[in-house]
Amino acid sequence: MKNLNLIRLLLLFVGISGAFSVLFGAWFAHAGQALSVVDKIRIENAQFYQFIHTLALLLTVFWYVKIPSRLLLCSSICFSVGILCFSGGLYIKTFFAFDAIGKLAPLGGMSLALAWILIAFISKKTLAKAIEK
């Protein structure tokens, strides 16, 4: 299969991102209560988006393995970049008071939205292929 190394890298990212979603959630439930209200909301959003989009990335990678499509691969990459920029940017902004990195969050949000739009474009074409097999 083409792009096997990229698939392995994406699955490695899924594993790490999923683990960190759980760890951030657990940390937030206990130690995060000392944060300000603004920081709590920021961390809740970052953690929620990271978890949901990590699951979406996992499904997209599995879909790509079953039915290879350039758009699915691009969607997977967009999910990865979006998770890093959106959630990662919000975590760094909160934990390290590095406000400049917060400017990555909108780029991450756009990347996540693009990933979903790519899936919408794929759906009809790829589902037809899947039914044929």
- What is the C-alpha separation between 79 and 74, in angstroms, rounded? 9
- Residue 132: what pLDDT? 66
Residue 5 in this model has a pLDDT that exceeds 90: yes
Are 50 and 17 within 8 A, CB to CB?
yes
- Residue 126: what pLDDT? 65
- What is the C-alpha separation between 42 and 66, in angstroms, rounded? 36
Domain ranges of the chain: 4-123
Long-range contacts of 117-122 (CB under 8 A, 24+ apart): 118/71, 118/72, 118/74, 118/75, 118/78, 119/60, 119/71, 119/72, 119/75, 121/71, 122/69, 122/71, 122/72, 122/75
- What is the C-alpha separation between 16 and 14, in angstroms, rounded? 6
pLDDT tens for 49-72 read 999 999 999 999 999 999 888 999
- Residue 34: what pLDDT? 84
* Residues near 87 by beta carbon (within 8 Å), at least 6 away in sequence: 46, 47, 49, 50, 53, 108
Instruction: Please give the model's pTM, rounded to 2 decimal places.
Output: 0.89
